[in-house]
């Protein structure tokens, strides 16, 4: 940015590259860094490097972990016969927050996106197939996002797994809880209608 | 945050402490750091530390600089007989962006705020008085913010400088350019009326 002295401008540039940080926030953060005690800046810098050094992928499910196997995979209290397939570690975390799932996960680390050059070989798909061979899995829940790429990835996986002796399901798509019909988009409404469930009396 | 592995949670905590970064942004940034190549995280960390190491205060005006004297104070083309007093380095930068000022600055590094325990001795006020003694200054422009603390700081300085052989002025307060009367607050409108200027014909 014009008018900034060089070291401050470098900080500004680095913050600008982070997601969701615009020009004004980057400038504010840069000035904040200069105001912080050196000890705190050092702690911030070290924390970033340490996290990058310590965090790796769980060798079972490829979620983030700081040991060999993540806490969920290591938990014998969870149902290891049910694998929920998600795109990103943050998706597994969102599922955990819902407190509605007791199985384990498999993190693909992305979704099929031919435009970005991301094909099946770039995702952790063969690792999923390997788990199905090795472990006694009864159900695979496809919990990729409900956008074009996520749906395509789910379809691809459903096709790939169709001859496997395992049940394959897709998370429901419909009206979000608390959502008004009036404000829902057509595709969501169509899905909600298509996936209607009978009410028992 | 619950459910985050420790190194990731540390990054999240560090980001949460930065101004304008909420829970969701901090989480997004933390995951982004894990996704970044190690080399880039290292560059980010080093940039912060380097800026903190290299940036110091200009010994004349206390603006930020990476040398002894800032570019503005070192610029002989600028009018050194006019000092614009601002609260923070970012305020001097905002003035520079307006391209309307050719004098030099003096950065107080704060404003009077008894509630936060900030008195005159915590600001760079005696350094300002020292400059007035040493240099041939004709005008001091008080450009502190137009809030309670900024106005109090300006009043205090005006009082302090009243016997000095120097003109003391305050930046105009009034309707912002492009501002509608309808949406302006009463205090701004009162100030705009009070400070009305005659139109020459």
**How many whole angstroms separate alpha carbon A93 and alpha carbon A123?**
19
Q: At B151, which CATH number?
A: 3.40.1360.10
Q: What is the pLDDT of residue A200?
A: 61
- Contact B27/A at CB under 8 A: yes
Q: Tell me the three state secondary structure of residue B11.
A: helix
Phi/psi of residue B133, nearest 5 degrees: -70, -45
**How many whole angstroms separate alpha carbon B22 and alpha carbon B31?**
14
Nearest to B42 among A19, A49, A70 (CB): A49
**How many whole angstroms separate alpha carbon B53 and alpha carbon B89?**
17
DSSP B78: S
By CA distance, what is A48's nearest residue in B?
B11
Q: What is the pLDDT of residue B193?
A: 78
- Contact A90/B at CB under 8 A: yes
Q: What is the pLDDT of residue B96?
A: 87
Has residue A129 been placed in a domain?
Answer: yes
Phi/psi of residue B29, nearest 5 degrees: -65, -40
SS3 for chain A, per residue?
CCCCCHHHHHHHHHHHCCCCCCHHHHHHHHHHHHHCCHHHHHHHHHHHHHHHHHCEECCCCCCEECCCCCHHHHCCCCEEEEEEEECCHHHHHHHHHCCCCCEEEEECCCCCEHHHCECHHHCCHHHHHHHHHHCCCCEEEECCCCCHHHHHHHHHHHHHCCCCCCEEEECCCCCCCCCCHHHCCHHHHHHHHHCCCCCCC
Q: What is the pLDDT of residue A146?
A: 87
Q: How many CB atoms lie within 10 A of CB A138?
A: 13
Side-chain-side CA neighbours of B185 within 13 Å: the count stands at: 4
User: Residues A45-103: pLDDT tens digits?
Assistant: 999 999 999 999 999 999 999 999 999 999 999 999 999 999 999 999 888 888 888 99
Q: Could A34 and B66 be called an inter-chain contact, meaning their C-beta atoms sit closer than 8 Å?
A: no
**How many whole angstroms separate alpha carbon B165 and alpha carbon B188?**
31
Q: Could A27 and B96 be called an inter-chain contact, meaning their C-beta atoms sit closer than 8 Å?
A: no
**How many whole angstroms separate alpha carbon A73 and alpha carbon A75?**
5
Has residue B180 been placed in a domain?
Answer: no
Write out the two tokens for B40: 């880039």
User: Residues A112-165: pLDDT tens digits?
Assistant: 999 999 999 999 999 999 999 999 999 999 999 988 999 999 999 999 999 999
Q: Could A33 and B27 be called an inter-chain contact, meaning their C-beta atoms sit closer than 8 Å?
A: no
Cα-trace Rg, chain B: 22
Please identify which residue in the block is written with the tokens 């912060």.
B48
Regions of chain B short of the pLDDT cut 50: none
By CA distance, what is B51's nearest residue in A?
A7
Residues of A in contact with B3 (CB under 8 A): 93, 96-97
Has residue B93 been placed in a domain?
Answer: yes
Has residue B175 been placed in a domain?
Answer: no
Q: What is the pLDDT of residue A49?
A: 94
- Contact B175/A at CB under 8 A: no
User: Residues B158-182: pLDDT tens digits?
Assistant: 999 999 999 999 888 887 887 787 7
- Contact A99/B at CB under 8 A: no
Has residue A32 been placed in a domain?
Answer: no
- B165: exposed, middle or buried (Cβ count in 10 Å: 0-12, 13-18, 19+): exposed
CA distance A188 to chain B (A): 25
- Contact A74/B at CB under 8 A: no
CA torsion sign for A143, A145, A151, A157 is negative
Distances (CA, A) of A196 to A140, A148, A175, A191: 22, 22, 11, 8
- Contact A25/B at CB under 8 A: yes
Q: Could A34 and B19 be called an inter-chain contact, meaning their C-beta atoms sit closer than 8 Å?
A: no
Write out the two tokens for B188: 């701004």
The whole domain housing A137 covers 78-170
Has residue B64 been placed in a domain?
Answer: no
DSSP B184: S
Query: For chain B, what is the domain count?
Result: 1
Write out the two tokens for A72: 């969920």
Has residue B40 been placed in a domain?
Answer: no
Q: Pairing relation of β-strands A139-142 and A167-170?
A: parallel
Cα-trace Rg, chain A: 22
Nearest to B8 among A5, A10, A51 (CB): A51
Span A178-198, average pLDDT: 78
Write out the two tokens for A55: 């965090």
Has residue B87 been placed in a domain?
Answer: yes
Q: What is the pLDDT of residue B108?
A: 97
- Contact B114/A at CB under 8 A: no
Q: What is the pLDDT of residue A201?
A: 56
Residue spans of alpha helices (H) in chain B: 6-16, 23-35, 38-54, 71-74, 89-97, 125-134, 148-160, 186-194
Nearest to B143 by CA among B191, B98, B107: B107
Interface ipTM: 0.78
- Contact A71/B at CB under 8 A: yes
């Amino acid at each position: 940015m014009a008018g900034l002295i060089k070291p401050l401008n470098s900080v500004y540039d680095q913050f600008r590259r982070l997601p969701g940080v615009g020009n004004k926030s980057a400038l504010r953060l840069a000035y904040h860094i200069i105001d912080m005690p050196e000890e705190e800046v050092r702690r911030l810098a070290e924390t970033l490097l340490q996290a990058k050094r310590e965090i790796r992928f769980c060798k079972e499910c490829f979620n983030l972990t700081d040991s060999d196997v993540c806490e969920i995979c290591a938990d014998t209290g969870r149902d290891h016969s049910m694998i929920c397939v998600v795109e990103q570690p943050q998706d597994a975390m969102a599922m955990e927050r819902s407190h509605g799932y007791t199985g384990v996960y498999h993190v693909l680390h992305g979704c099929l996106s031919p435009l970005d050059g991301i094909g099946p070989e770039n995702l952790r798909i063969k690792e999923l197939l390997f788990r199905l061979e090795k472990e006694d899995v009864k159900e695979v829940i496809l919990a990729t996002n409900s956008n074009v790429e996520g749906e395509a990835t789910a379809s691809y996986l459903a096709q790939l797994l169709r001859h496997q002796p395992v049940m394959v399901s897709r998370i429901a798509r419909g009206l979000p809880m608390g959502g008004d019909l009036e404000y829902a988009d057509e595709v969501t409404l169509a899905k909600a209608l298509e996936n209607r469930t009978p009410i028992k009396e």
